[in-house]
Amino acid sequence: MNMASLGSLPGDLILDIAQHLDTARDVAHLGAVSKHARTVINQSGWRSFVRSRFPSFDVAPGALTGWDAVADRLTYLDRCWDSRGFSLTVYGEKAPARPKRREFARSRQSVNFHSVMDATTVSSTQEEMLVYGAGENLVFRRKEDADARGKDSWSKLAGREAGYAAGTGDVTAISIIQRQQFPEVVVGRATGDLQLLAAKDEALSDASQSFTPMHDVSDTSKTPLTRRSPGQRAVSWTEWQPNGQLLASCRSSELTLYNLSDTEEAVLKPMLFYDVSKDSAADEISLLRSVKFMSQDVVACGLGGCSDPLRWAKIRPTGIEMLDVGKKGTVGDSAEGSEKTTVRSMQPVPRMNENLLLSAWDDGSHRLSDLRSPLGHDVLYRDGFQPYQASSSLLVYGSERFVAGNNCSPDIRFFDFRFPKSYHHSSAMPCSADAPTPGRPFQFGDISETNGLQIQTTATCNPSCGQTCTWHRLSKQDSWRPDAVIHIYSASMDRVHCLAKASDLSTSFYCGVRGALVEATYALGEDVYSGAAVSRRSAPEGWQASDPEGRVSLMETGVGLRDGEAQLEEQTQTRMPELYYYERWRIPEAGSEEEAEPFKREEGRRLDPALVAGRRGRG
């Protein structure tokens, strides 16, 4: 009787084995033992690996070229995240030429614009689409796929051609919607107008439908729109709900809902209005800063300048009912004299729980709340180095991590949710008796990086007896996977205004700053230098793509998860964290024969090889 081999096992047993493998490398090795195993792994094994190791990530059907490509992308992104492998590209307008004698320079705004943007992956073509506002103008980019090396095309739509002037007609909100064969773009402006544009033929053009002019039809007793201040006239936010074909827009304290399921109606009229100021005290501003659909009939609302800034709206047949998060009654029950604050940004965490919402508050906290919970928040996160500086915008990657833009400086914050993690890229690295380098950052008043740790050195892993080597054991601990902040040294960038990403599989995310757009690409230094991760830079007409004007530094700030406000002082950095600087990228132009010197990967290194320590000696 012949003994059964691994490759001859039934397909369901091979899939069970694939689900329990720690790395994509092990899955590939399993598929190489026989033709039968390779067929099973290619048909269902890679999908099983992705679903078990990255369960909270949103992977659309038909993403990339197959489940093996999805696994390759997600494992690479995870490694870049943990090792802080990022490449930054700044897109800005070219400086105008000096006017000749007897000529006058074209008038320009004294205060530069803040970029407003949205990005998505087009479901029909899997192209990455980016639309951002540069003052009164719109810039449109399509990339062949979500890979950093995909070919892209740029186009511009001048605001002056549509009658919008600089400043008063600036773009203030953008949402990309997909309800037909081609995507469309909803644009909100400082004048209070809503536009609907069609994105086809690699350009933006007027759609066959338009929104009704935004007059105060909800309340004729209020001040007319044309007599309001610019901040109250502007459309502050737009949000799309694809399943219900609903669009929400915010202007001043008014929430407006549109039903866009009818693609034949020429003029799109609002279906529901709600003024949140009627539930607030007379001394509260109650400006609607953002909204997020939690489901087809529940909308989370973030307000500014009021004592209950996080509310949720229930869409009922009779209208909108507004409730306060953390309370069992309607809005307006707050005690007199309550402190007024602001919710600056929100992001749902739907893959984990459809009622889970992450919000950035004006006191610098990032609060994870369950809308069903009687508590104001369930989990709280803070930047360990600048705990009281608020974040202006958020990006969520499943239930594993999120990115926040600093509202006070050009800083990009990286947080880990600290939920149980199913995949660690470090599992594929060699065993070692040494601790990962560099060591964990200072936190909670520690003097030594090994203070309070009983490290018993083990050279190799032995799964049969549950033995784990020192390097693998420590690299999975939270203290060796700290949160971090990237600071962009620039005289013109005052803060991060907004953030956007096309999908969880995209290799880039985008930051809107003053007068520019910053693209952060997930890429290890060795891949950037070899040309395997970042392609030649291109830019729209009249713009240029370049490195940041100053040095880009990274600070590891420890674990941002807080047990409670009572422990805030004990869990905050007590000294300046060590600075790491990203080496300048030498990305060759297309067609050039320049060859960059590749990085030498250092075994056991915890951070990207492109990061160089700013100072030595921890004392």
For residues 542 and 410, is the Cβ–Cβ distance under 8 A?
A: no
Say whether pLDDT at 39 is over 60. Answer: yes
Q: Is the pLDDT reported for residue 41 higher than 90?
A: yes
Residue 171 within any structural domain of the chain = no
Q: CA 398, CA 420: separation in Å to the nearest integer?
A: 12
Q: What is the pLDDT of residue 104?
A: 46
Q: Which of 202-211, 216-225, 360-369, 569-578 is least confident?
A: 216-225
**pLDDT of the residue at 446:** 45
pLDDT over 90 percentage in the chain: 50
Evaluate whether residue 505 is within a structural domain.
no
Is 309 a member of any domain? yes
d(CA 352, CA 414): 19
Task: Average the pLDDT over 243-272 and give the result.
Answer: 92
List the single range of 95-104, 147-156, 264-273, 577-586 with lowest mean pLDDT. Answer: 95-104
| Structure confidence at residue 439 as a pLDDT band (50, 70, 90) | confident
Query: Residue 448 has what pLDDT?
Result: 41
pLDDT at 68: 93
Give the angle 349-355-361 at the CA atoms, nearest 5°. Answer: 65
Does some domain include residue 354? yes
Which residues lie closer than 8 Å to 476 by C-beta, 6 or more apart? Answer: 421, 424, 426
Taking alpha carbons only, the member of 76, 584, 56 closest to residue 356 is 56
Percent of the chain predicted with pLDDT > 70:
82
pTM across the whole model: 0.89
- Domain termination residue (choose one: 360, 381, 402): 381
Euclidean distance between CA atoms 251 and 290, whole angstroms = 10
User: Which CATH number fits the domain that encloses residue 351?
Assistant: 2.130.10.10
CB atoms under 10 Å from CB of 181, counted, come to 7
In a domain, 421, yes or no: no
CATH number at residue 54: 1.20.1280
pLDDT recorded at residue 384? 87
Residue 132 lies in a domain: no
pLDDT of residue 360: 96
Q: Is 569 helix (H, G, I), strand (E, B) or coil?
A: coil
Range of the domain at 78: 10-83
Task: State the chain's mean pLDDT as an integer.
Answer: 83
447: confidence class by pLDDT, cuts 50, 70, 90: very low
According to DSSP, residue 22 is labeled S
Virtual torsion, Cα 163, 166, 170, 176, nearest 10 deg: 60
More confident of the two residues 232 and 298: 298
In a domain, 41, yes or no: yes
Of the ranges 4-13, 53-62, 428-437, which one carries the lowest mean pLDDT score?
A: 4-13
Query: Is residue 98's pLDDT more than 80?
Result: no
Give me the pLDDT at residue 393, please.
96
Q: Tell whether the model's pLDDT for residue 418 goes beyond 80.
A: yes
Check if the beta carbon of residue 140 is closer than 8 Å to that of residue 157. Answer: yes
Q: Which residue has the tokens 């369960």?
A: 55
In this predicted structure, the answer to whether residue 219 has a pLDDT above a threshold of 60 is no
pLDDT given for residue 156 in this prediction: 92
Q: Band of the pLDDT at 251, cuts 50, 70, 90?
A: very high
pLDDT digits (tens, 9 = 90+) for 84-93: 999 999 999 8
Q: Domain tally for the chain?
A: 2
Residue 357 in this model has a pLDDT that exceeds 70 = yes
Among residues 199, 228, 197, 223, which one has the least CA distance to residue 211?
197
For 547-556, what is the mean pLDDT?
A: 88
- Give the per-residue pLDDT at 217: 47
More confident site: 320 or 123:
320
Q: Is 276 exposed, middle or buried (0-12, 13-18, 19+ CB in 10 A)?
A: buried
Last residue of one domain, picked from the residues 23, 52, 83: 83
Q: Which of 362, 381, 400 is the last residue of a domain?
A: 381
Give the residue-averaged pLDDT of 383-409. 94
Report the SS3 class of residue 74: helix
What pLDDT, on a 0 to 100 scale, did the predictor assign at position 442?
63
Structural domain contains residue 502? no
Q: How confident is the model at residue 326 (pLDDT cuts 50, 70, 90)?
A: low
What does the alpha-carbon distance between residue 605 and residue 580 come to, in Å, rounded to a whole number?
14
